[in-house]
With several copies, the nearest count.
Chain A
Amino acid sequence: MSEEYVLQLQHIRKEYPGVVALKDVTLELKPGEILALIGENGAGKSTLIKCCSGAVIPTSGKIIVNGKEFSSMTPQLASENGIAIIYQEFNNVKELSAAENLFLGRPIRKGIVIDKKAMEEEAAKAFEALHIKIDPKALMKNLTVGYQQMVEIAKAVQQNAKILIMDEPSAPLTSAEVESMFEVVERLRKEGVSIIYISHRLEEIYRLSDRILVMRDGEYVKTLITKDSEVQELIKLMVGRELTQSYPPRKDCVKKDEVVLELQNVTGNGDTDISLKIHKGEILGLGGLVGAGRTELAEMIFGAVRKKSGKMIFNGKEIDPKSPREAINLGIALVPEDRKRHGAMLGISIKNNINMPIYERNSKLSVINNKQEQEIAEKYRENMAIKTPSLNQLVKNLSGGNQQKVILGRWMAADSELIIFDEPTRGIDVGAKYEIYKLMNDLVENQGKTILMISSEMEELMGMSDRIVVLSEGNMTGELSKEEFTQEVIMTYASAARDK
């Protein structure tokens, strides 16, 4: 109809058994603009944009691309109509090279024969444009999460799409990479590409977008002009209430004389010679760039991977956990970074997910106590404000944020002494973030727990930590006390190994 919009989603409704994910949502994208899409976890952002590619088939509604009307799309139609999408979950083939992933589904070919060399050359150019050093021949499985995301971005850009949809592209990226991504986004905007940008990081929204569309509970709330809007207003629209602070205050409860975990020259899993101490009641932040080896360190502490050498002392005793089970029994928990792959058990219920680590403990003669199981799940559903119609709901039917809350609930239930949070708020909305921060504070303040927090968000790291340790390429490059926290210092340490 009108040529005013390049993409219109009209009255989209999407029902899942037991859940209405989208109720009558309408979105309109103007040529050459960046439209930000925001909303709490489970608001339906990802579901909405998946309708544009056929990854989700809407129950009802229309999709109009450049005046052409569709009741549903397919990935082919989307690509023919100039739509490219970066999904929230990774969509790559681990056994293929970066170059082949870049050209997945549309290889450079002569007849039926592919031209590998041309693809590798093109890929090298694309990566260069993003200021990243990725070998086009490297297999995807050997790249870090951050690099994999950069390949996704390069892939979307490479398609020369007229409409680019990005679902939380910055979540796995460190600030330097976010910067190079922004450069590309700005360039594309200048070239007349229309962009939908989804993020929970409001500063990114303000920096990039022209307009902001707010969603809540699967419904359209309001569209605002970015430069005329206020942060507080946005948050209120998103969560339906007012929030004042980004980081809840915490009284100092660090017991300097009680060391919970001490690492002495721990080496292995890509890390070398890591020595640090975590005190009781402390939140120790672990910072660094992509590939710094933080996740790897967490895996060793948690027993998921064995260390090669060095010592780990937990509550005064030397430990060497051979499996997560051993670590859990000692009182260590890990909230993993990749929640779909390592955290949530998608095919089973919320109740079972929360109880999983404690079934054995709470069973008599192997038989489960159903009442207790239900009570525990109920308690943490309330504590964590998990949005669900029933505890028997399968976790795969929850939004990303709510899945994260289920995993957090699991470790609360397990009553661990040291909890490692690997990117705890990755892809989580401001409202839920605040709740998770409060929870973390409560854990150290009132429940005598200790936290090791890995985060790529500089602000979160500085806002939450009592101390920060910085890693760079598997080496420990710096340790900062609260007074020394500045972005510049952390960045210097973080790139120390790379600069050498």
Chain B
Amino acid sequence: MKENKVSRVLKDQAIWLVFIVLVIAFTIANPRFITMNNLLIMLRQVAVWGIASVGMMFVILLGDIDLGTGSVITFVNILCAKLMVEFGVNMYLAVLISLLASTLIGLLNGFMVATIGIPALIATFATQTAFSGIALIMCNGQPINGFPEKFSVFGAGWVGPVPIPVIIMIICFIIGAFILNKTYFGRYFYAVGGNIEAARLSGIRTGRVKYLVFALSGFFAGLAGIVLLSRTNSGMGNAGLGYEFKVITCVVLGGVSVAGGSGRMSGVVAGTFIIGALNNGMVLMNINTWIQDIVLGIVLVLAVGFDCIQKKRQAN
């Protein structure tokens, strides 16, 4: 047991170690990297992914996946923008309606997965395809802008020296950790992800757990969409294109097993920060876009591969 704890902390640290190594490397390459200002900017850049990654983590814990995240972000982007600009809805109400809508899309995924029994990969891919079409129809492919001045607070505001999107992200991480470790339904996520049949026969309403998790994933994606909208100050019909994979990358880098049933919030935080550092640092280092792709692929393989090899060694 003691040994277990030590090895767990070590494993957690491993991914943080990667982060630290990256930070050192980038700092050597360009000392500007380590400035407080740049670090905060870096966090602001990943805030959208970080927020969405909380919901995605829950889904992956169940052993499922949510490919709809990107479309939800786009959809919310357009919906909220349209509500404010075309229908003159009050900004807070618009945000509320948008979050509600994104949660409903999550519930739709939950319905398809839990009630109909469609594999999450397929169900959420269908959601992705359909809702990206819907968002484009809604905005007619045109950007929407001209929001109330105050709306930019979510994505571009500051509290003292800290950007508000970063604060939102950190709150989301804390809520995520609280749900997973302290609440009974958080424990159910692990149970359902680990052995759904056992969970069901123990009286856990596994269907409800799935609904809840997909709804939460929708909600966090929606929140991410709002922050994105406020940050760019303009709604676009392809704003969230491809975001699901960025978010999945954050979660998986953080050591959450795609097989479901295991993973910790702190890992996801590290995963998100690593992606942030890479994106930010490589631009500071003047690395070509295409090489950035290659580096990203390699880092992903190394991080996850290292984890896998460790687990294999442990198992023997």
A and B: interacting chains: yes
Q: Which residues of B contact A367 (CB under 8 A)?
A: 182-184
Q: Which residues of B contact A345 (CB under 8 A)?
A: 191, 194-195, 198-199, 202
Complex Cα–Cα for A113 and B314 (A): 32
Which one of B3, B182, B200, B203 has the greatest number of beta carbons of chain A within 10 Å?
B203
Number of chain A residues close to chain B: CB under 8 A: 69
Q: Kindly report which residue of chain A lies nearest to residue B185, judged by CB atoms.
A: A366
- Nearest-Cβ distance from residue B14 to partner chain A, whole angstroms: 16
Q: Which residues of A contact B32 (CB under 8 A)?
A: none
Q: Which residues of A contact B193 (CB under 8 A)?
A: 95, 347
A325 touches B4 (CB 8 A): no
Interface residues of A in 291-329 (CB under 8 A from B): 302, 304-306, 323-325, 327-329
B116 at the interface (CB under 8 A from A): no
- Nearest-Cβ distance from residue A103 to partner chain B, whole angstroms: 9
- Nearest-Cβ distance from residue A45 to partner chain B, whole angstroms: 17
Q: Which residues of A contact B188 (CB under 8 A)?
A: 359
Picked from B183, B190, B316, the residue with its CB within 8 Å of the CB of A96 is B190
Q: Mark B173-187, 1 if CB is under 8 A from A, else 0.
A: 000000000111101
A346 touches B314 (CB 8 A): no
Q: Mark A67-106, 1 if CB is under 8 A from B, else 0.
A: 0000000011011000001010011111110001000111
Q: Mark A325-359, 1 if CB is under 8 A from B, else 0.
A: 10111000010100001111111100010011101
A91 touches B195 (CB 8 A): yes
With A17-B7, A93-B261, A107-B187 known as contacts, the answer to whether A76 contacts B198 (CB < 8 A) is no
A336 touches B201 (CB 8 A): yes
B198 touches A343 (CB 8 A): yes
Q: Which residues of B contact A360 (CB under 8 A)?
A: 184
- Nearest-Cβ distance from residue A96 to partner chain B, whole angstroms: 6
Q: Mark B1-13, 1 if CB is under 8 A from A, else 0.
A: 1011001000000
A352 touches B184 (CB 8 A): no
- Nearest-Cβ distance from residue B205 to partner chain A, whole angstroms: 5
Q: Kindly report which residue of chain B lies nearest to residue A306, judged by CB atoms.
A: B316
B197 at the interface (CB under 8 A from A): yes
B184 touches A107 (CB 8 A): yes
B249 at the interface (CB under 8 A from A): no
Interface residues of B in 278-316 (CB under 8 A from A): 314, 316
Interface residues of B in 200-254 (CB under 8 A from A): 200-205
Complex Cα–Cα for A96 and B188 (A): 10
A343 touches B201 (CB 8 A): yes
Complex Cα–Cα for A79 and B204 (A): 11
With A18-B4, A347-B262, A368-B183 known as contacts, the answer to whether A324 contacts B191 (CB < 8 A) is no
Picked from A75, A79, A104, the residue with its CB within 8 Å of the CB of B191 is A104
B316 touches A106 (CB 8 A): no
Q: Which residues of B contact A139 (CB under 8 A)?
A: 4
Number of chain B residues close to chain A: CB under 8 A: 28
B201 touches A114 (CB 8 A): no
Q: Kindly report which residue of chain A lies nearest to residue B208, judged by CB atoms.
A: A325
Complex Cα–Cα for A327 and B262 (A): 29
Q: Mark B49-67, 1 if CB is under 8 A from A, else 0.
A: 0000000000000000000
A100 touches B261 (CB 8 A): no
A363 touches B183 (CB 8 A): yes
- Nearest-Cβ distance from residue A343 to partner chain B, whole angstroms: 6
With A305-B316, A390-B1, A392-B4 known as contacts, the answer to whether A324 contacts B262 (CB < 8 A) is no
Interface residues of A in 425-456 (CB under 8 A from B): none
Which one of A95, A113, A389 has the greatest number of beta carbons of chain B within 10 Å?
A95
Picked from A78, A325, A346, A363, the residue with its CB within 8 Å of the CB of B205 is A325
Q: Kindly report which residue of chain A lies nearest to residue B314, judged by CB atoms.
A: A17
With A17-B7, A57-B316, A93-B194 known as contacts, the answer to whether A366 contacts B183 (CB < 8 A) is yes
With A112-B183, A367-B182, A393-B1 known as contacts, the answer to whether A348 contacts B194 (CB < 8 A) is yes
Complex Cα–Cα for A106 and B183 (A): 12
B1 touches A138 (CB 8 A): yes
Q: Which residues of B contact A113 (CB under 8 A)?
A: 182-184
Complex Cα–Cα for A53 and B184 (A): 22
A132 at the interface (CB under 8 A from B): no
A356 touches B191 (CB 8 A): yes
A221 at the interface (CB under 8 A from B): no
A410 at the interface (CB under 8 A from B): yes
With A94-B261, A96-B190, A114-B187 known as contacts, the answer to whether A325 contacts B198 (CB < 8 A) is no
B197 touches A17 (CB 8 A): no
Complex Cα–Cα for A328 and B4 (A): 34
Picked from B184, B201, B316, the residue with its CB within 8 Å of the CB of A334 is B201
Q: Kindly report which residue of chain B lies nearest to residue A323, judged by CB atoms.
A: B205
B190 touches A75 (CB 8 A): no
A-B contact pairs, 14 of them (CB 8 A): A75-B202, A90-B198, A91-B201, A91-B202, A92-B198, A93-B199, A105-B202, A112-B183, A112-B185, A323-B205, A324-B201, A343-B198, A345-B199, A414-B203
11 extra A-B contacts, CB within 8 A, seeds A17-B7, A78-B203, A346-B194: A76-B205, A91-B197, A91-B201, A95-B261, A96-B194, A104-B191, A112-B183, A114-B182, A114-B184, A325-B204, A346-B195
3 nearest A-B pairs in the assembled complex, by CB-CB distance: A105-B202, A105-B203, A359-B184
